[in-house]
Chain A
Amino acid sequence: MTYRKIAGLGAVMVLGISACHTDKLVNVNEDPNNPTSAPPQAVFTYATRISMQRWYGSNPTNMRGPVLTAQHLAQVQYPDEDQYLRLDGTVTNNSFIFTYAQELKNFQAVIDAGTEQNEPLYWGPAQIMRSLIFGYVTDVWGDIPYSQALKGDAEDAIILPAYDAQKDVYAGLFKDLSDAVTAIAGAPSSAKSLGGADPIYAGNKLKWQRFANSLRARHAMRLANVDPTTAKAQIAAAIAAPGGLIASNADNALMKWPGDGVYDNPWAANNRTRDDHRLSNSLMNEMIPVGDPRTGVYAQPTLCFTNPAGTGCPANPPQYAGMPNALTAAQAGNYSLTSSRPGRVFYSTNRFCSGCSGLTGASFPSFVMTYAEVSFILAEAAERGWIAGSAAAFYEQGIRASMEQWGVTSASAINTFLAQPSIAYQGGTAGQRQIALQKWIALYTDGVEAWAEWRRTCVPATIKPGPAAIINTVPRRYQYSTREHSVNASNVDAATSRLVGGADTFQARMYWDSAPTAAPTYPGASCGVR
């Protein structure tokens, strides 16, 4: 009897266990929180937002990096990045990783979904954005994973992608942009638009084409010294492509921030709680002596100018002033009252904005690519004789576009500014310097582009490492991510060995930065050397 009971219990147990099918276990492990596929529009919004926060924010890729190496701003406290101290591969590691994993991969996901759904107005803009970001990445690091990148989940997964030569990356970008423009231009009227999910152009086909073509021209001009043939051909192709270039400030690629306290302009978000930056002497010294009307937009009056009776203020304090880059912390602190904070358009509270009210900095747009930049590209192309047209006219058009973009409306002030002998276009090599200088000034807030253009042109030549900088040259690239050195060592080693000097240093030059003497604007090898 006892054994019958045991058998009975055993049977109950076996039944009990087998009743719980393994099929059911599978259901238990289905994630109820997150889907396995998502609408491409929502992915596009995310990827655009996260990219713009990174490349126009308080990161080592903007406020704590290129904006300082391009010497638009300087650090008045905690001047570590200004001293190039915290720009090494450890600190910039995440910038590299998450540019790929959060930005490029999600644009890729939109491209893949858009291609699969045959929706060119989904994948076209995504491919243009991917090209924009790849452009940033290659201009910061040099040779980068491009053709094998973003394939960690592919059928033939590539976990350790090889690094493409920068030359090949540029060639790829020209093609990617061209393909995107062709697809967008040829999209049938039934094609679905990104619409409101697109924070830059709200799905406007023509503007996306113009942006893509302008981006192609930007990349082309970067090759001006090293490969003028390609540069010239690509600029011509960009102009001729469907839609042409950005033709007015209305076409500008602007990242529009909701300014709702959640997604604010990243400079404004940073300036709400931090007071680490002042305008750099390098920038102010080019603007103040010539009475540049943008000065009061780019910069705030100094604290001592606002409150001359304040403790520690000198007699006759300057209204606007910069400060030197890369001082020691103690030296830098001395400039807190006598140099200018970034302009009030970058503030949403009056905390670090003296006497400010009605601030709208939270929703101030980030300038991704502008009519002014395009005009300066055309001016340089005309000066080099690559395109028809007057370099002087393009140059003046660029300055006027920039003034308008930054809210300078007084025509007389602009005319007076333009009429000055040092501003009026001089042509030739001097003209090229003028174009480069005005472009660099106009690129304020666009750190990577300003830094890249300075590296290409060495204008202004006053940019040198500050006295407390840890190296005596302005960085010409970032070091590769420490993660890459540890997990993708053989590929990053191969890329490193191709660098001039064969070591992963700040000093090694880009492919397009490798023939300095070819640049007519260059003072020589002393460019950017302390």
Chain B
Amino acid sequence: MTKYVSRILACALILLGLAPAAALAQTVVSGTVRGSNGSPLANAVVSIQSLRVGATTDAEGRYRFTVPSTAPGQAAVTVRRIGYLPGTATISLAGGSVNQDFTLNVSATELAEVVVTALGVERQRSKLGTAQQQLNAGELNTTRAQNLVQQMQGKVAGVQITSPGTQGGSTNVIIRGQNSITGNNQPLFIVDGVAVSNANRGGAPFVGSNTNFDYGNALSDINPDDIETLSVLKGPNAAAIYGSRAANGVILITTRKGRNTNGRIRTELNTNFTFESPAILPTFQNGYGQGAEGEFEWLDGNYGGVNDGVDESWGPKLDGRLICQFTSPGAGTDNCQATPWIAHPDNVKDFFRTGMTASTTLAVSGGVDRAFGRLSLGADNVRGVFPNNLFQRRTAALTGTFRASNKLTADGSVQYIHNGGRNRPGVGYSGRNPLQSMFNWFGRQVDIEALRDYGKGGASNGGPTTREFNWNYSYHNNPFWQMQENPQLDDRDRLIGSIALNYKVANGLNAQLRTGSDIYRLGIQQYYNRGAEEFVNLTYNGGFRFVNDYRNDNNTDLTITGNKQLASWLEVSAVAGGNLRREYFSSNSQETPGILVQGIYNPSNAAIAPTIAQQIVRREVQGVYGSAAFTLNNWWTVEGTARNDWSSTLPVDANSYFYPSVNTSIVVTDAIPSLRGSFLGSLKLRGAIARVGSDAPVYSLVPVFFGNAQRFGTQPQYALDTRLANADLKPEITRSNEVGAELSLFNNRVTLDASAYSKSTRNQIFDVEISGASGFDKKWINAGEISNKGIESLLTLNLFQSRTGFSWNTTLNFAHNKSEVVDLAPDVQTIVLGTGGFGDVVVEARKGEPYGAIRGYKFERDDAGNILVEDGFPVRAPSLEVLGSIQPKWTGGWSNQISFRNFALNTLLDVKHGGKLYSVTNMFGEYAGVLKETLKGRENDWNDPGVVVEGIDVATGQPNTTSITAEEYYHGLFGYTERYVYDASYVKLREVRFSYNLPGSWANKFLGARAASIAITGRNLRMWTKVPNIDPEFAYSSRNDQGIEVNMSPNPRSWGFNVRIIP
């Protein structure tokens, strides 16, 4: 096995051009690292930085690495480990072996911790003047989610992550509130120095045919098992040097690398197996079946019988009376034999199946002193909770380092990913979303089991011959038929690669040239069978839609970094660099709602000429940047950064823009050592000011005509863009200020990291609605301002630590953000971000309100707050009013780690408090009479006793006494937005992990590993919320119109097992 693996590794290294160089008279450095109490320390990094050699200690605290013969005589060996002060020793490299042991002191603070900062530079926390939070692999991978971003949920203060509204869908990430009115509000993701696309082809609550599937965001391609650390740079201050892409913060991912292992191969394994089920389903009524006004009788399911086309549950009482139904013998004929009219309480629940996820990563790493690498192979297979829905991901990642000389080192990295989905359910208010019928329009008497045999065809119960067997032929498709016979395929093949050349110009002065590309091809195939209600022209035998996307983002950076101790009291580190970014995106699509021969999804089989479209997007940004940090006496650091960008999307005479930032950090307890004591361990204060910005959307400067590949008969068509171009656009500018403090108390038992920030984005580029009579719908302008102010804190408590091996750590994070749309364009009060589809609800950026104001219709009330009633019905207010916003008051997380000897229990509660949502599932669930609360008014019979709305009758001024039927009442509530707006707060038991760590000696003996563990894990196990029937957490994509829930598929609850072997 090992032999085989090493051959793969060798081949891989050769492929990278990194054949191991022969070593001559080398020096082998080895030793043991211990804590001050004498216990060995695992995971400490021992290295000779100048030579870029080093190793990590094993479970016994041992390390060993080899120094090439070309190295000079004296070298400084440093050792670093989280939670300890670094150690240094000088050794002489004379060949042979050198033994160097270290004893590290527990750092009084976390300030000695080394973290990854902008541009991938590793720095000591004490010198950072900006807020950032870092997660290591263990913290990130407590449990497994389909998208690694979800694994960050609840762990980082100030980062709001919303799970997708459908399995495999997009995750929405917002750091410190939204900055841009209509632009991108998602952070920039960087993997090993390469910006990677997190583009998504997400769905939407209410949009036409093209976006009714959510294909997830591209970041779900990254295998979490390949991640070493993940740093969140929380805003413009920490990320300023990234210039025009820094406004929304940056998430920096560092992947695992190989090390010099003296030729030994180290193997790591991580495998998860979990089961999933919908975490919540609506609570349905089981008293009354399909129909209207208490009546129903099947003939053809299309209004041929009594209300048999009606897809609502206002029919007869489910008391076992005999009624002809779609399943009755002889249904559709004059000889229908009526069958008992009974409820099928689980007819929605039984549609779902138990999902399963199996994911495994196997990695080998190692090498010799001049060349080493890591190869990892990952496979994820997900069986969705929807029938026939599958996902799979295959990843292969290879990283390697080749040291050509003492001065020149090459690092290479390449990841290949295949990510595919099969038969995703649609999302939003669409016939392609099976939950549209299941959650809202599914007769309570419908026997779901009968629907599994859809193949017997519509004619078997009086329906159309061209249709599948179903319970209704006027509006809906059979949900099983939808999932089985309308294949949806999507496949993304992706290559993320980079190569970096590092040249050591002099001691403390390095130059690096790095170029990296993120390239993917995404193919989407949507097949629609004959009879698929919304997409297919019913005259034809089916339809299809194909999409092919290609994206190539290339970044080339030349950077020079310098580090110099200018005097005993002054250290300088500086960076200067240039960046060239090129983005290319193309998308081609073909679609037709009509094909000739059923089942052949090929343009050559199109009966209706396919619509063909192509879009190409190109962008180029050139930038130069620099930063310099001065550290005085090791306790006061001042850093300044500057960047200038030139973007292709801005007017040629105004395409240059400059961003400066400055930050400072003071370690008060180092400046005034007398402050340090048993109470106060350390205190650091920091502050920062930054300015960053964004360029314009592509092609927004010059007016164009849009063609239409679909000819009118034989005639081509061209139409002027309805958006008015603007040749005078300027970049958006975000200004951000922040202050923070980090302190530790009681011997590091309590640590607190707190920040306060204020940022505002001006000169927003957006397409403002103008008077249509101008001949245009919208116009690109620079205007408006959004501000976000907030605080965030991370409190870590080491509650208990006993000699018997029992320990309890708890971490609380908390963030509060106040968003305000300060200004829009002159005369513009609001920008609509999204609408509810029925004219009764909109989500807006509205002047004076938080970003994402939900507006809709309220009940009309008198001065005392009583609902006004007319003819028995509540009166609706005449115009839309603000009903709340999507912004939570605060978000937080509470994690606990309890360990006893080799057992450990990790839990994480994820909290979102405040914010509103609008729910169509509840709205139509009441309208259609399927939800439990709609039994009100028909306790005795379908219209008995009826509903007497509590309120004041406008005619009499007295309490209303007019009774209306439940059916009239719930129909009458259509358009009363207020009723379906809910407080979206929730508390979720996001993660639970109970693990057993094998004793190190066993791991070593039986597995040849440093450590191994087995665990039981769970995600989303419990939820507490005030919103009825739905999960208040749902995202359609990274779009800005969040907050409108439409038949979302509930987040899966999952539990399962995890095995880890760590080399």
The reply to whether B776 and A161 form a contact with Cβ atoms under 8 Å apart is no
A16-51 contact mask (Cβ, 8 Å, vs B): 1 or 0: 110010111110111111111111011101110110
Q: How far is the CA of A175 from the CA of B576 in the complex (A)?
A: 68
Query: Within the complex, what minimum Cβ distance (angstroms) separates A91 from chain B?
Result: 5
Q: How far is B474's CA from A51's CA once the two chains are assembled, in angstroms?
A: 30
Interfacial chain B residues near A197, Cβ < 8 Å: 715
Contact (A46, B306) CB under 8 Å given A149-B773, A152-B774: no
Cβ A43 vs Cβ B719 within 8 A: yes
Q: Which residues does chain A contribute within 8 Å of B652, judged by CB atoms?
A: 22-23, 25-26
Q: Please encode chain B, from 644 to 663, with 1 for each CB lying within 8 Å of some chain A CB and 0 for all others.
A: 00111100100100000000
Instruction: Check A6–B773 contact: CB distance below 8 A.
Output: no
Chain B contacts for A20, CB-based, 8 A? 580, 620, 622
| A292, CB-defined interface residue at 8 Å | no
Nearest CB to that of B771 among chain A residues? A488
B624 touches A100 (CB 8 A): no
B898 at the interface (CB under 8 A from A): no
Contacts of B698 in A (CB 8 A): 29, 31
0/1 interface trace, chain A 248-266, chain B, CB 8 Å (1 if under): 0000000000101111000
In the assembly, what is the distance between CA of A309 and CA of B773, in Å?
Answer: 55
Q: Is the CB of A101 within 8 A of B722?
A: yes
Q: Is B717 in contact with A46, judged by CB distance below 8 angstroms? A: yes
**A339 within 8 Å of B by Cβ?**
no
Contacts A90-B839, A261-B540 given: A97-B718 contact, CB under 8 Å?
Answer: no
The verdict on B208 contacting chain A, using a C-beta distance below 8 Å, is no
Residues on the A chain within 8 Å of B307, using CB = 333
**The one of B306, B310, B611, B708 that contacts A312, using a Cβ cutoff of 8 Å:** B306
Contact of A31 among B304, B646, B699, B830 (CB under 8 A): B699
Taken residue by residue from 601 to 617, chain B's Cβ proximity to chain A (1 for < 8 Å, 0 otherwise) reads as 00000011101001110
Distance in Å from the Cβ of A312 to the closest Cβ of chain B?
5
Contact in complex: B772, A100 (CB < 8 Å): yes
User: Most chain-A Cβ atoms within 10 A of its Cβ — which of B624, B705, B772?
Assistant: B772
Check A293 for interface membership: any CB of B closer than 8 A: no
Q: Does B716 contact A (CB under 8 A)?
A: yes
Docked pose: A97 CA to B618 CA in angstroms: 31
- Contact among B297, B705, B967 with A37 in the assembled complex (CB-CB below 8 Å): B705
Within 8 A of A (CB), among B520-567: 533-534, 537-540, 558, 560
The answer to whether A199 touches B713, judged by C-beta atoms less than 8 angstroms apart, is yes
Q: Which residue of A lies closest to B652 (CB)?
A: A26
A50 touches B334 (CB 8 A): no
Residues of A within 8 A of B721 (CB): 34
Whether the Cβ atoms of B619 and A28 lie closer than 8 Å is yes
With known contacts A96-B772, A333-B292, A36–B705 Cβ distance under 8 A: yes
User: Smallest Cβ distance from A175 to chain B, in angstroms?
Assistant: 20
B849 to chain A, nearest CB (A): 15
- Contact check, B624 vs A199: say whether CB atoms are below 8 A apart: no
| Pair B537/A261 contact, Cβ less than 8 Å | yes
User: Contacts of B806 on A, CB cut-off 8 Å?
Assistant: none
Give the Cβ gap from B806 to chain A, nearest Cβ, in Å: 56
How long is the Cα–Cα vector from A353 to B395 in the complex, in angstroms? 54
Q: Which of B303, B708, B724 contacts A46 (CB 8 A)?
A: B708
Residues A35 and B827 in contact, CB atoms below 8 Å apart: no
Contacts of A144 in B (CB 8 A): 773
Instruction: Report B-chain residues with C-beta under 8 Å of the C-beta of A150.
Output: 773-775
Contact of A17 among B511, B624, B647, B770 (CB under 8 A): B624
* A37 proximity list for chain B (CB < 8 A): 705
Question: Are A28 and B609 closer than 8 Å at their CB atoms?
Answer: no
B121: interface (CB < 8 Å): no
**Are B775 and A108 neighbours in the complex by a CB distance under 8 Å?**
yes
* Distance to closest chain A CB from B551 (angstroms): 16
User: For the complex, what is the distance from the CA of A39 to the CA of B306, rounded to whole Å?
Assistant: 55
Nearest-neighbour CB distance to chain B for A198, whole angstroms, equals: 9
When distances are taken between beta carbons in the complex, the residues of chain A under 8 Å from B216 are none
- Stretch of A64-72, A370-378, A479-487, A507-515 on the interface side: A479-487
A-side contacts of B558, CB under 8 Å: 9, 12-13, 16
Give bound CA distance, A102 to B772, whole Å.
9
Chain B contacts with A in 669-712, Cβ cutoff 8 A: 698-699, 701-708, 710, 712
CB < 8 Å neighbour of A33 from B608, B615, B708, B779: B615
Q: How large is the interface on A (under 10, 10 to 19, 20 to 34, 35 or more residues)?
A: 35 or more
Please give, as numbers and ranges, the residues of chain A lying within 8 Å of B771 by CB-CB distance.
145, 159-161, 483-484, 487-488, 491
Per-residue contact bits, chain B 596-640, to A (CB 8 Å; 1 contact, 0 not)? 000000000001110100111011101010000000000000000
- Complex formed: what's the CA distance from A88 to B771 in Å? 18
Q: Would you call A34 and B705 a contact (CB within 8 A)?
A: yes
Residues of B within 8 A of A481 (CB): 772
Please tell me if the beta carbons of A303 and B304 are within 8 angstroms of each other in the complex. yes
Q: Most chain-A Cβ atoms within 10 A of its Cβ — which of B720, B724, B968? A: B720
Whether B505 contacts A6 by the Cβ 8 Å rule is yes
Interface string of B774-794 (1 = CB under 8 A from A): 111101000000000000000
Are B720 and A106 closer than 8 Å at their CB atoms? yes
Which of A98, A272, A486, A488 has a CB less than 8 Å from the CB of B777? A98
In Å, the complex CA distance between A261 and B537 comes to 7
**Bound state CA distance, A39 and B708, in angstroms?**
13
CB < 8 Å neighbour of A105 from B624, B649, B701, B775 = B775
Interface string of B297-315 (1 = CB under 8 A from A): 1010001111101100000
A151 touches B705 (CB 8 A): no
Does any Cβ of B come within 8 Å of A330's Cβ? yes
Taking a contact as CB atoms under 8 Å apart, the answer to whether A310 and B304 are in contact is yes
Residue B714 interfacial (CB < 8 Å): yes
- The answer, yes or no, to whether B506 is at the interface (CB within 8 Å) is yes
State the CA gap A2–B716 with chains docked (Å).
65
A488 touches B773 (CB 8 A): yes
| Chain A 112-165 interface residues, beta-carbon cutoff 8 Å to B | 144-145, 148-153, 157-161
Q: A6-B509, A28-B620, A29-B698 are in contact. Are A311 and B299 (CB under 8 A)?
A: yes
Does B578 count as interface, using CB distance less than 8 angstroms? yes
- Checking B538, B577, B618, B710 against A272 with a beta-carbon cut-off of 8 angstroms, the contacting residue is B538
B715 x A486 contact (CB < 8 A)? no
A394 to B383, alpha carbons, bound, how many Å?
A: 73
Tell me the chain B residues, 712-749 only, with Cβ under 8 Å from chain A: 712-722, 724
A26 to B727 CA separation, bound complex (whole angstroms): 12
Q: Which residues of A contact B608 (CB under 8 A)?
A: 260-262
The answer to whether B967 and A330 have CB atoms under 8 Å apart is: yes
Which listed residue (A24, A158, A337) contacts B303, Cβ 8 A? A337
Q: Which residue from chain A places its CB closest to the CB of B835 in the assembled complex?
A: A90
**B609 with A486: CB separation less than 8 A:** no
* Structural contact, B509 and A2, CB atoms closer than 8 A: yes
Indicate whether A384 reaches chain B with its CB closer than 8 angstroms. no
Shortest CB-to-CB span from A152 to chain B, Å, is 3
Q: Let me know if A486 and B829 touch, CB within 8 A.
A: yes
Flag whether A86 is at the interface (Cβ < 8 A). Answer: yes
**Cβ contact within 8 Å between A487 and B646:** no
Residues of B within 8 Å of A329, CB to CB, are 971
Q: Is A230 an interface residue (CB 8 A)?
A: no
Known: A145-B771, A262-B609, A303-B304. A272 touches B539 (CB 8 A): yes
Mark out the residues of chain A between 271 and 328 whose CB falls within 8 Å of any chain B CB in the assembled complex. Answer: 272-273, 275, 303, 307, 309-312, 328
A379 within 8 A of partner (CB): no
Instruction: Identify 16 new A-B residue pairs, CB closer than 8 A, beyond the known A22-B655, A157-B774, A486-B769.
Output: A2-B506, A13-B578, A16-B580, A29-B648, A32-B616, A34-B706, A105-B720, A149-B775, A152-B776, A196-B713, A272-B539, A309-B334, A329-B971, A351-B538, A486-B830, A487-B828
6 contacts between A and B (CB under 8 A): A10-B576, A25-B655, A91-B839, A152-B724, A161-B771, A199-B712
Q: Residues of A with Cβ closer than 8 Å to B?
A: 2, 5-6, 9-10, 12-13, 16-17, 20, 22-26, 28-39, 41-43, 45-47, 49-50, 86, 90-91, 96-102, 104-106, 108-109, 144-145, 148-153, 157-161, 196-197, 199, 258, 260-263, 272-273, 275, 303, 307, 309-312, 328-330, 333, 336-337, 348-349, 351, 362, 481, 483-484, 486-489, 491
Give the 4 A-B CB pairs with smallest separation, nearest first: A97-B772, A152-B774, A261-B608, A38-B718
